[in-house]
Each structure stands twice: as structure tokens, then as C-alpha cells.
Amino acid sequence: MQPRLLQVFRNTPFGRETFLQSIYFARTIDVSIRVYVPKQKRFLMYFENDVLQVDLDESYIFSPDTAEENVRQLLDNSGVNFDFVAPEHYTASSLPDLPIDYEFMCCPRSMSDPGAKIGLGYIGPKVRHVIKTASFPILIPSICYKEWNKISVLFGGSINAVKSLRLGIRLASRTRYPLEVFTIQEKGTDKRSLEKLIEERELAEKFDKYVKNWTFLDKSDVRESLYLIPHDSLLILGAYGHGLVRELIFGSKMEIVQDFMPNNLMVVGPNFSQ
Amino acid sequence: MNLKKLLDRLGFYPAETKLKLIFLGSIVGLLAGFAGFALNTSILFLERHLTVLRPYWWSFIIPGAGAALSYFFLEKILNEGAGHGVPEVIYSVSRKGGLIRARSIFSRIISSGLTIGSGGSAGPEAPIIMSGAAIGSNFARFLKLNERERINMVGCGSAAAIASIFNAPIAGMVFTLEVVLGEWTAVNIVPIAVASVAGAELSRVLRGNQIAFSHESFAIGPGAIVAAVVLALFTSAAALGMTRALRKSHALWHKVELSPWARAFAGGCLVGGLGLAMPMVLGEGYHAVSDAVTGDFHPGFALVAVLVLAKILATATTLGSGGSGGIFAPCLVVGGFAGLAYYRGVGLVLPGIDLGAEGLFALLGMAGMIGGMLQAPLTAIFLIVEVTGDYNVILPLIMVSVLSSTICSIFEPNSYYLRDLEDSGHLLRVGTDARILADLRVAEMLDRDCMVVSDKMKLGEFVDVVKKSSRNFFPVEDEDTGKFLGMIHLDQVRPYLFSREMYDVVLICEIMDAKPAVVAPDDSLTEVLEKMEATRSIRLPVVDGDKYLGMVSKVAALDRYRKELIVQTEK
């Protein structure tokens, strides 16, 4: 069965950019797209151990009559298989439940807040919640359509970083695009322990085969280091893998990266299982 | 370290499942019990402060304002987007492994508090069931309990909420098992019973050991039991009338071209207007029923009969227009008035007859109404026994509640809570055929061990494939694109197999079945079996778009069914 990406369609020029990015991703990785054209402003996703309500902003239900036609126009000649999701179940009449059997989901930086807030540096609480809850990785597209021809993985040794490395290798093997790994040098992060971790997780062989370059970023400010990551790469990274306490004290790397990088991001949350 | 590990390390987390569930159930019971206390207190607070305004002519606006605020809070601030409670809890148990949103813990407490406290005709029971169930669900989610345990915690929350608000632990437990879970197993009953006790006990500590409808003990004679049988006809009629009025009202109010908050306001004002003439229809309405039970409700037969209709109208208007609350309390009030009207009606027709105390019939009316409307006779029986503290009434109670439930089920096969779920196919109790079939997907039982042949293959080449295969059916794919084109079955090619001259002439695409019945990987087992039945097949190809994925057979389906049944019914 072909892997699937879920796209909640927003029938606006901004939504089109996001959608074009998803189409590019789907074509490159060879996945099909399941498009949800919302009729209500909210929907639920029931995961294995959590239920997530996504409250959409007004723009998602803007001009519903033309939404499906616009989706078809964008997809018809794209070479990407697609279909539309029609919710089978409803928790209440105005509260559809969306299925969750996807391999990827595309979320712009915000789905719940007015357009004015959407931009680089802002990530909405709902998207955070989706990342934390979803059993699949989340594609956060760049603000405007931007093609990529490399894959970069931000690898710091956490559980989620290992998952993102595994995903990076998988995508590199599907696309044949060069894979680069970047490690932000921190106290307690040395190459030898990370190599040992890679070996323990039985990734060493594939790592050697697919990874073209492993760069250690050693600037004192993380943001300075990020300049070295190619702008035309799909940046894969783990999120929220260090637990609540550490996150409250030190903050989340993913938040800094999304705040600073214009790349398309693929974020692997704590519940992602391959 | 999460809480589960911490409790484990401290030795507070019993490893044995039943003990673990009892321990966790008691915590959920206390939390849900506190939620019940909070809702009850907030309604009493609002009622106390707003009652002084009731004499003013403009006071009809108060229920309107309360309903509009309630709508605004529920829909605009909390984005809740759901109904009054119990059906959502049953849906969650039935289809979603007991998962309920965290916001539901407090959303209905506040919104129904506003609606009922301001005078809207509704009950706090459904909202508090939702709240208790959400507490149980989110507590289980936090501790990462499995699905069965989570559903158990939902039951614990729901039972404790009812136990707390009515000070009725047995009714809480029975309601949960009878209506919410629909499953009576030992592993469920014990933690739910403990949670019920915890909820009721907390309520007693905080509010005192109050009996909702306390009264002098009734003397029950054979005449009362016979009269109870006839009363069941009246309570059934009232239950059916109320069920239909609620549904009609929802449909009618949705046609009114006003914004939802304005609809709620208008509905509340109408109820407020009705309340100017008959204040007994406002709010929960327990005061008037309490008077009826103790024999202190003095209006005559006609007014009591009108009150039955007025309460139904007020409840249908409040809930249909968008107010927040449940139907449990209105059921009790309508039932109480119906019983009283029946008693006084019989007294008018047969003046010399001795049926006993009229308060008894108010109680029996309540039981009949709950039995009929919720089709939950056991809940009705235990609730009335507990809220009156009088076991003597048990015999006529049983008669009226089971008869009312049976009569209503003839006209409405499902209770008010379950009808929509049943209609949409979402009422799937654990361990039932429908639930198991709905839970299984084609993708889980794919047989990929089947040789695929190309459309341009010659018959001779195909014969070689047949020799190597143990199957007698073969999917056909387009040689260039890999698209699924059809199926070829040995029976179809048997006439050609023995004609060697055909081997190099006939192509597979010429003799295959180009339009076979297919199923999709997302189809449920029910759909697959229906298709197999319709096409008289024992196996079907599974196709995703135009790609062949594998075969699904009746044998594999039966095997998965058996395994799923074991999972769902294991203790």
C-alpha cells in the first residue's frame, strides 16, 4: 500500500503554497495525498492514547464551493495519487473524527490562529499538540513554495533524534537525495558516544551507506550554527524528546529551529513509531 | 519519571490489575465526586441569588441570558462543539476506547451551571456524567493505561458523578453498567462500585448525608401494585411524548434563522415566560417534586396535568434551542407530576378507591419515566430506592419501571441516549459481533502469498505458473504500469488448458475476468463479508486505487475474528 500524507486543505493563496509543498513532497517521496476539505471549523483525531481537537481558523472554511475543484486542479497533472477524506464518524454533529492511518501529515505553522500570526517564528499551540500526539511525522512547509534536493537530519542523540535519523535514512533511500547529518555540539555530546548509539540502534550500516556528511555545529549560539544547514534541504528533526522538565528549563531545539529556519521541516514527535 | 513509575517505586501501585483498578477507581471517584459537588453548589448559588429577581416581570430574560452565556462559553471559549453528555460518553466507550477530551472535564459543569442556575429547564446529571467520565478518561491517559482499563476509569468517573449528585452509590454503579458501558463483568463492577462509594462518601462529607426525597414510609397494598401496572401506561406515554418533543424541538430550532447564541437566548426567554406562570418548570424542578412526594403539593388534577406538558415543553425548548444540560432531572420531574396526576385522576373517576399515599405515585411516576425514557429499568429502581431511602416501595417500583421500559421499547427500540448512536451504527458494545466486525480492517488480514501474472502473458506461460502455484486464482496486472486489471481463475481457463494449440495464441488479458468484485484496504470486515455474500465468493482481491495489494479470504477473516473476540473479552 502506498504511504499516505494527510493534508487539511485551506482554499486560499497561502493554503495553495502549503499544498504545492505537500504535492512536491508526495511526488519526491512517492506517497499519495489524502485531502480533507473541512466543512466544519473543528475536527478530532483519536490516537492510541490521546484525543486531539484541531480548531481551524476561518480561512480553512473559506469559499467551500470551489475548494474541491481547486484541489483537483492542483493535483490532476501532478502525477500524485490522491483522494478525499470523508469523515465516517462524528463525535457530535459538528465534530467530525478524522482517521489517523497516515504516514505523514502536513501542518502549516499554525492551523488555529488568524493569518496575521502565521509566519516564520510562530508555531501554533495546535500544531505543537499535533506533533506531540501524532503517531506520524509532521511536515511543516516553508512559508512559500520551495523545492529541496537534499535531506538534512538534526541529530543530537535523543530518542526522537534517533527516530528522525531513521526516517532521514528511509527518505534518502527512497529519493536518492544526499543525506547530511548535523549535530549541535553540547556538553556531553561527543562523536564517539553518538557513533555507539547509532551502532546500538542497528543503524551503522545504513548510516555509512546513505550519510554523505556528518557535521558538528560548535558555535555557542545554536542559531549561528544553523546557518550551515543547506537552505534547499528537507530538514528532519525530533521534537519534545527530553521530557517536560528539561524542556521547561532549557527550551525545545525544535522551537528554535522552526523560529530560525526557512526550510521545509519534517518533525518527529515522541509518539512516532515507524 | 512519570506518575506511574513514581507510584510503582513507592509501592503504591499494585501490580495486580484488579487491585490497580480499584485503587485508581477510588481516586477517580473522589475527583468525580468533587466535580458533582462543584456543579451542585454552583447551581444552588445561582438559584439562590437569582430567585429574588423572579417576581419582576422582566425576569423571563434571566434564563435567556443564562442559555446564551452558556452557549457562548461552550462554543466560543471552549470550542466544545458537542452535545449534552451521555451519548458522547457512550460513543467514546463504544468506538474510541474511552478517549474523551480534557476540556470536557469542566466545560459542561460551567455551561450547564449557567443554563440550569438561571432557570433553564434541564438536569445537571448528564453534564456531570460527562465531566466524571472525562476525569476518568484523562486520568487513565495520564497514566497510560490500556484501552480496557481506560474504559473502566470512564465508568468509574461516570458512576461516581451520579453517586455524588444523588447521594446514590448503587444507582451510580447500575446506571454506568446498564447505560454507559452496557457490560456487566466482574472486572468492571468492582472498581466502579468502589468509585461510586468514594463519590457518594465525598458528597456526604461536603454536603451532609441528604436524602433528596425523604418522606414517611409508604404502606403498600395489592391495590397499589395493580395501580402501578396501569400507571406504566401513562409514564410510557409521557416518556414517548418527551422523547419526541425533544427531537422535534432540536429540528425546529435549527430551522430558526438566528445565530446560535440568539437561538439559545430566545429559547431561554420563552422558558422564562412560561416560568412566570408556572415557576415549577424552571431549573431542575426538584422542589416541587419533593413536595409531591411528601404530599405537600396542593394544586389540583388539571394543573398537575398541565405541569406535565409544561415541563416537557420547557425542557424541549431549553435543550432544543441550545441550552446546556441533561434530561435526567426533567424526567424525574415529569414522572413525578405524571404519577401525581394519575393518582388524582383515578381519585376523580373512582372516588372511593384507596390507592394509598399520593406521594407513592409521584415516586412510581419517576421510576416509570426513567425506565421508559432511558430504557434502564434497573437504574430507575435503584435510584428511586436510594433517593427516597425507602425499600418498601420496591415491588410497585419494579412493576412500573420494567413495564414502562418494555412498552417504550416497542415504539422506540432504543433509548433517548442511544437512538442516534444506533442509527449511525456507532453503538457497538465490546465483545459483540458488530463491534468486532467494525474493528477489523482488510489491511490486517491480507494474504500476499499469491502469484501475480501479467496481462500479456501467453496461455502456455500461464500453465507453467499454475504448475508452480498451489492456488487456483491469479491477479492480473498491466505489464508496463503495474495497474490491477482483473482476476483469472482456473475454472475460467479450464476449456483452454487442454488445447495445446491455444498456448501461443491466447493472451491472459483475453480470458481474464476484467471486472471482478474488489475491496479496498480501508474497508471494514462487515463491508467485505457483505460483498462476498453478494458475489458468492470466498475470497476477493484487495485493491488500493489501481494497485493490487493481496487477497482477503473468509478463512482469514474468521481467524482474525476469533483473535479479536479473545482480545475484547479477556478478563
For residue range A225-262, list pLDDT tens digits in order. 888 889 899 999 988 766 655 555 555 677 778 778 88
Minimal Cα distance from B446: which residue of A? A1
Determine whether the interchain pair A1/B83 forms a contact, defined as Cβ–Cβ distance below 8 Å.
no
B424 touches chain A (CB under 8 A): yes
Give the count of alpha carbons within 13 A of A166, CB side only: 20
Whose cell is 410497585? That residue is B396
Residue B539 has pLDDT above 80, yes or no: yes
Mean pLDDT in residue range B502-517: 85
Residues of A in contact with B443 (CB under 8 A): 1
Q: How far is B83 from chain A (nearest CA, A)?
A: 6
Beta strand A4-8 pairing with A104-106: parallel
B97 touches chain A (CB under 8 A): yes
More confident site: A119 or B548: B548
- Identify the band that residue B6 occupies on the pLDDT scale cut at 50, 70 and 90: low
Q: How far is B87 from chain A (nearest CA, A)?
A: 9
B342, amino acid identity = Y
More confident site: B531 or B501: B531
A61 touches chain B (CB under 8 A): no
B4 touches chain A (CB under 8 A): no
Residue B12 has pLDDT above 60, yes or no: no
pLDDT digits (tens, 9 = 90+) for A121-148: 567 778 888 888 888 999 999 888 899 9
B547 touches chain A (CB under 8 A): yes
- List beta partners, residue B551: B447, B541
For residue A2, give the nearest of B82, B144, B547 by CB distance: B547
B260 touches chain A (CB under 8 A): no
CB environment B126-152: b (16+ within 10 A), e (fewer): bbbbbbbbbbbbbbbbebebebbbbbb
In 3-state terms chain A splits into helix, strand, coil percentages (rounded to 5) of: 40, 25, 40
A81 touches chain B (CB under 8 A): yes
Phi, psi of A83 (to 5 degrees): -150, 170
Residue A36 C-alpha cell reads as 480533507
Determine whether the interchain pair B544/A90 forms a contact, defined as Cβ–Cβ distance below 8 Å.
no
Residue B420 C-alpha cell reads as 442516534
* DSSP-based three-state secondary structure for B85: coil
pLDDT at B455: 87
DSSP per-residue codes, B259-298: -HHHHHHHHHHHHHHHHHH-GGGSSS-HHHHHHHHHT---
A95 touches chain B (CB under 8 A): yes
This prediction has a pTM of 0.82
Cβ neighbours for A229, distance < 8 A, ≥ 6 positions apart = A152, A154, A182, A235, A261, A263
Q: Among A4, A50, A51, pick the best mutation site for testing chain B contact (most B Cβ within 10 A).
A: A51
Closest CA to A170 of A157, A155, A183, A153: A153
B250 touches chain A (CB under 8 A): no
- List beta partners, residue A265: A140, A235
pLDDT digits (tens, 9 = 90+) for A151-208: 999 988 888 889 999 999 999 999 999 999 998 877 667 788 888 888 888 888 999 9
Determine whether the interchain pair B545/A51 forms a contact, defined as Cβ–Cβ distance below 8 Å.
no
Determine whether the interchain pair B521/A90 forms a contact, defined as Cβ–Cβ distance below 8 Å.
no
Q: Is-contact B455 B479, C-beta < 8 A?
A: yes
Q: How far is B100 from chain A (nearest CA, A)?
A: 7
A113 touches chain B (CB under 8 A): no
Beta strand A89-92 pairing with A264-268: unpaired
Distance CA A72, CA B139 (A): 44
Mean pLDDT in residue range B490-513: 81
A91 touches chain B (CB under 8 A): yes
More confident site: B153 or B470: B153
Give the helix/strand (H/E) hosting A96: strand A95-98
Mean pLDDT in residue range B250-265: 90
pLDDT at B301: 86
Residues comprising chain B, all counted: 571
Distance CA B380, CA B405 (A): 10
Distance CA B486, CA B477 (A): 7
For residue B96, give the nearest of A42, A51, A101 by CB distance: A51
- Measure Cα distances from A9 to A72, B32, B563 in Å: 11, 39, 39
More confident site: B387 or B65: B65
Give the helix/strand (H/E) hosting A11: none
Q: Among B2, B79, B420, pick the best mutation site for testing chain A contact (most A Cβ within 10 A).
A: B79
Give the count of alpha carbons within 13 A of A61, CB side only: 11
Mean pLDDT in residue range A97-114: 84
Minimal Cα distance from B547: which residue of A? A1
